[in-house]
Amino acid sequence: MTTDRLSAGVLALFALFVMWESRQLPLGTFRHPGPAYVPVLLASLLLLFAIFILFTGSRAPKLSSLQWTEWRHALAIFACSVFSVFAIERLGYRLTMLLMLAFLVKLVEKRGWILSLIFSFSLSWGSYFLFYTLLRVPLPQGPLGF
Amino acid sequence: MADTLHNLYIGFSVALAPQVLLYAFVGCVVGTLVGVLPGIGPLAGISLLLPASFGLDATSAIVLLAGIYYGAMYGGSTTSILMRIPGEAASVMTCIDGYEMTRRGRAGPALAIAAIGSYIAGTVSVVGLMLLAPPLASFALRFGPPEYFALLLLGLLVLAYMSGGSMLKSLAMAALGLLLGMIGIDPMTGFFRFSYGLVELGDGIGVVPVAVGLFGLSEILLTAGQPTAPEVKKPKLKDLLPSRQEWRDSLWPIGRGTVLGFLIGIIPGSAHIISSFVSYAVERRLAKDPERFGHGAIEGVAGPESANNSATSGAFVPMLALGIPSGPIPAVMIAAMMVHGISPGPLLITQQPELFWGFIASMYVGNVVLLILNLPLVGIFVNVLRVPYPLLYPAILLFCVLGVYAVNGSAVDIGIMAAMGALGYLLRKFDFETAPVVLGLILAPMIEMSLRQSLAMSSGNYAIFVNRPIASVMLLIGLALLLLSLMPFLMKSIDWRHRLGINTANEGEKL
């Protein structure tokens, strides 16, 4: 199994998924396309490209040759992003960013407590001052007022 | 010509008045700041200062707001080059080679060339604006849905020249981007498409969360946990300016980017966004060694940055000459003018010459101000790279989240950014390029709308695309480009017999 063959398979499945979901919308005609027309056309093109990639995929590197050494950090960063989605409007901007930064600097990068706290506080409060106070960008306040 | 020079003299006497100069400076500073910060685009910056401009005289108000607009174009390149986070859609292409230059210790020259290229493009395009506004505006008015469709299709076809890797994979990514652009309300019929009950997806997926996710977030996902920290050479003082070779390599791209950007910018609508994509593709196509692109080619910074600044001036042509906004930003500026009792349009030049020519002159002045402001800042910005990477990437993540949230105040956008970040991480692992996804996303709504409007105009007859001269010429150019891009494949298949060492000259005798 090569990288191209796996990715072609995923792209093909995605194209078929789009075609399936588009069945709920009117397709229209060639002369009067409906809301599903262009998505189905694009999904068909994507499927075609995926099939071509599948056929030419034997020359790509093997899947086992891919290195995933950074997966732990990547997972931690992705988890922080997802955490901020749910927390930013519940806990407020500053607290969310403080927790996110402290997690990354202290627990993931294993820096000292003092550096982690100073860095997290100054960046979360400083960015809030810049965007909210100076630039008047609305940022959510948490239940604790920050 | 004598009249033009006289009017320009009047304009400069207005633009160099201390008060107007001050507002030009303030606008440029604010514009640069909003451009540097991801998520806060020029529209947000202009909207922030619009109320403050009500108390000013008309010339000062317009000069202030215009300063923000092209200041933001300058500023957007900074985060693209230093951190691979595009400040806005127009800076996406700068991320590719700009960031690679940073990794090679050439961040200073990249920032300097971006600033100087933007200055040259901005200044030259102002000359174009000054001399060509009325005739170009008339030409721009002839653009209807069929011409738009042809132009945007042409914009998609430049993909064939944008990528260094597999064209098939780039086309697949473009199709993926176009599909992502289908999410939201269908503008012709009002049907919700692929929104799954989420109100925030009704307006579609924003370009900023996708671009920040695919470029900025995916970069830190890939590099943060590497056993050795990503090699970003710390720049030395003497390396802050471009070398002679870099200057020479940048001149023609700046010139071409200026012309391309200006011509694309005058077209009403949001087509000016594609100016940087088109410029990158052109530079790649014309380069003697295109394999350098994607690995720190200075042409990949000079061309797109010049194009997007030049498109900014081009976008003012329909606004000033005809009173037609070419996008949301000129629309806000028209609103600002109307608040001051001024109606932009064909009579503006004759009825309010000091405003029109003062505006033109202030753009010259503004470009000089931006150059003076940004060149010394290169040394300061580049020091950001001295921050240890284990502390830098959490800060980058904070600015990604903040910038994306600031666009619409929606946590869903952060979710989109996270999903795109994960997608970008996987795509880059599997050797797919991400720029075509962004281009597809930008073009999708415009292409579909113009196609369906064209068919509505012609009652379903596709001949409308060949009956209109501008559309047909652009489609022909697109076809020629597509065939040219397929030439290498065709030549390879013709050449296979020679490569196998088969002597084709003797075969005829045997038969």
Structure confidence at residue B508 as a pLDDT band (50, 70, 90): very low
Structure confidence at residue B271 as a pLDDT band (50, 70, 90): low
The yes-or-no verdict on residue A83 having pLDDT over 90 is yes
The yes-or-no verdict on residue B365 having pLDDT over 70 is yes
Interface of A with B in 85-114 (CB under 8 A): 85-86, 88-89, 93, 97, 100-101, 104-105, 109, 111
The one-letter amino acid code at B212 reads V
Per-residue model confidence (pLDDT) at position B134: 64
Residue range B405-419, pLDDT digits in tens? 887 888 999 999 999
Dihedral angle sign, alpha carbons of residues B492, B498, B502, B503: positive
**Greater confidence, B274 or B378?**
B274
The yes-or-no verdict on residue B475 having pLDDT over 80 is yes
Per-residue model confidence (pLDDT) at position B511: 33
Helix (H, G, I), strand (E, B) or coil at B347: coil
Per-residue model confidence (pLDDT) at position B324: 67
Residue range B314-357, pLDDT digits in tens? 777 667 766 666 666 777 777 777 777 777 766 676 677 777 77
Per-residue model confidence (pLDDT) at position B394: 93
Residue range B165-209, pLDDT digits in tens? 677 888 899 899 999 999 988 888 888 888 888 887 888 888 888
Beta strands in B142-285 (DSSP E): 184-185, 192-193
A140 phi/psi in degrees, rounded to 5 = -70, 140
Q: Of the ranges B5-14, B68-77, B91-100, B434-443, which one carries the lowest mean pLDDT score?
A: B5-14
Chain B residue with Cα closest to A125: B398
Helix (H, G, I), strand (E, B) or coil at A29: coil
First to last CA, chain B: 73
Per-residue model confidence (pLDDT) at position B157: 74
d(CA B95, CA B110): 11
Cβ(A63)–Cβ(A39) below 8 Å:
no
Instruction: Please indicate if any CB of chain A lies within 8 Å of the CB of B402.
Output: yes
State which H helix or E strand residue B61 sits in: helix B58-83
Instruction: Please indicate if any CB of chain B lies within 8 Å of the CB of A58.
Output: no
d(CA B159, CA B441): 13
Determine the distance from the C-alpha atom of residue A96 to the mean position of all C-alpha atoms in its chain, rounded to a whole number: 18
Among residues B24, B14, B25, which one has the least CA distance to residue B353? B14
Cβ–Cβ pairs < 8 A, chains A and B: 173
Highest mean pLDDT among B179-193, B225-239, B487-501: B179-193
Task: Report the greatest alpha carbon distance in chain B.
Answer: 92
Residue range B415-437, pLDDT digits in tens? 999 999 999 999 989 989 888 88
Among residues B438, B143, B427, B142, which one has the least CA distance to residue B280? B438
Structure confidence at residue A47 as a pLDDT band (50, 70, 90): very high
Q: Do B415 and A88 touch (CB under 8 A)?
A: no
B chain contacts of residue A26, beta-carbon cutoff 8 Å? 189, 191
Instruction: Please indicate if any CB of chain A lies within 8 Å of the CB of B52.
Output: no
B chain contacts of residue A86, beta-carbon cutoff 8 Å? 411
d(CA A12, CA B175): 12
- The domain ranges of chain A are 3-65, 71-134
Q: What is the mean pLDDT of residues B280-295?
A: 86
Q: Do A131 and B194 touch (CB under 8 A)?
A: no
Closest Cα in chain A, distance from residue B10 (Å) = 35
Q: Of the ranges A101-105, B128-132, B279-283, B476-480, which one carries the lowest mean pLDDT score?
A: B128-132
Q: What is the pTM of this model?
A: 0.78
d(CA B205, CA B439): 13
Whole-number percent of chain B with pLDDT over 70: 77
Per-residue model confidence (pLDDT) at position B504: 44
The yes-or-no verdict on residue A112 having pLDDT over 70 is yes
A47-69 burial code (b ≥16 CB/10 A, e <16) = bbbbebbbeebeebeeeeeeeee
d(CA B202, CA B13): 49
Average pLDDT, chain B: 79
B chain contacts of residue A49, beta-carbon cutoff 8 Å? 168, 171-172, 175
First to last CA, chain A: 51
| Structure token digits, residue B448 | 């579909």
Helix (H, G, I), strand (E, B) or coil at A33: strand
ipTM: 0.93
Per-residue model confidence (pLDDT) at position B37: 67
B chain contacts of residue A138, beta-carbon cutoff 8 Å? 409
Q: Do B221 and A4 touch (CB under 8 A)?
A: no
Per-residue model confidence (pLDDT) at position B239: 66
Q: What is the mean pLDDT of residues B490-503?
A: 52
Per-residue model confidence (pLDDT) at position B168: 82
